[in-house]
Structure 1
Amino acid sequence: MSIIKQLITSGGPVLAYMGVVPVLRMVPFLRREPPPLLDGPLQQTVEFPAVQPAAETYLPPFSTILSGNPAQTATYIYRSPDGLFAAGIWTCRVGKFRIDFDRAEFIQILEGVVTVTDAEGVSRTYRAGDAFVTPKGFSGTWDVIEPIKKHFTWYGAGSEEGFSAV
């Protein structure tokens, strides 16, 4: 009998509150709008083209080339307004060169084969279909075994020598 009294005593106000809450949500000035998903107007997506637009060929600094002729092209497909994020397409002919990454970069190999060796001598070979991240501060070599093509995205401030804008 005491359980029934307790349910009636405490259950009544809870049930009454639950009945009023949906009604309160119908009052316009008590409704909250969801926060916007983006600041400012909606942005459009940017697609990578099926064929890389024409880009000027360049070489890394002569002092960094270890073998071969690692001539390269780079085309930006997108750059953020603040200049801290970019995405594009990069190609390189067969050759080996030293490289220091001054920003973090995501890489997806589309064609070719490359062996990346870090400053400690640890090597990894990447082929078409592989994806990896090179952190800011990475120092090592790229040995392009078969001509390579990659999609890249990078984040952070850094140099843009040799890269052509689209």
Structure 2
Amino acid sequence: MEIARLLHTFGGPALALLGSLPVLLRPRGAAPPLLDGPLMGNHDFPAVQPREKSYLPLPSHIVSGNPRQTATTIFKSPDERYAAGIWTCGVGAFRIDFEHDEFIHLIEGAVTTTDAAGVSRSYRAGEAFVSPRGWSGTWTVTEPVKKHFTWYKAEPSEA
């Protein structure tokens, strides 16, 4: 019984120490090893967004104005569960239901989001926020918006 108690007490810290040995034994100031594989390499966001075909939300989702949009995907993972890109939208309001977790960084413009409970939040260029999967509500774009986005789907898409 004493051995079980000792393993329980000291096993976790000992395993953590063993796991950190490669970092501890690396010469001071040495860089960690580089990863190598098919996804390695940066995917730069262009200074000027490539021309994309614009589209509108479904007519049943448009609340007001002309929320004409474009989307440029800069990177998508092979399993299509993660993506990053640039999105634009004209002045107007539309309903949206987020099917994935999305990080949003506004580059230009202003938007007010209002959730299904009626809680509103306003964001301007330079600000960032996350819309979690399942968020449902209205986006009111008061100044034309351009955003960098990244999204993650909890489950792989079905082809």
Q: Scaled by the length of structure 1, what TM-score is found? A: 0.71
Superposed CA RMSD in Å reads: 2.1
- Closer/same/farther in 2, CA of residues 40 and 131 from structure 1, 3 Å limit: same
Q: 8 Å contact 1:102–1:158 — kept in the other structure?
A: no
Q: 8 Å contact 2:70–2:88 — kept in the other structure?
A: yes
Query: Paired residue for 2:86?
Result: 89
Query: Paired residue for 1:109?
Result: 106
Alpha-carbon displacement from aligned partner over 1:28-58 (angstroms, at most 9, x marks no partner): xxxxxxx976473571011100110010000
CA distance in 1, matches of 2:87, 2:72: 6
Q: 8 Å contact 2:88–2:146 — kept in the other structure?
A: yes
Among 25, 28, 44, which residue is 2:41 paired with? 44
Q: 8 Å contact 2:79–2:156 — kept in the other structure?
A: no
Among 118, 121, 134, which residue is 2:118 paired with? 121
**Percent sequence identity over matched residues?**
66
- Closer/same/farther in 2, CA of residues 80 and 119 from structure 1, 3 Å limit: same
- Closer/same/farther in 2, CA of residues 41 and 62 from structure 1, 3 Å limit: closer
Alpha-carbon displacement from aligned partner over 1:126-152 (angstroms, at most 9, x marks no partner): 000000000000000000000000000
Structure (1 or 2) with the larger CA radius of gyration: 1
Among 128, 131, 136, which residue is 1:134 paired with? 131
Gaps of 5+ in 2: 1-31
Q: 4+ residue runs of structure 1 moved beyond 6 angstroms?
A: none
Query: Paired residue for 1:56?
Result: 53
Query: Paired residue for 2:72?
Result: 75
Gaps of 5+ in 1: 1-34, 160-166
Q: Scaled by the length of structure 2, what TM-score is found? A: 0.74
Give the partner amino acid of 1:40: G
CA distance in 2, matches of 1:158, 1:145: 34
Q: 8 Å contact 1:103–1:158 — kept in the other structure?
A: no
Count of aligned residue pairs for this structure pair = 126
CA distance in 1, matches of 2:67, 2:51: 18
Which moves more between the two structures, 150-159 or 118-127?
A: 150-159
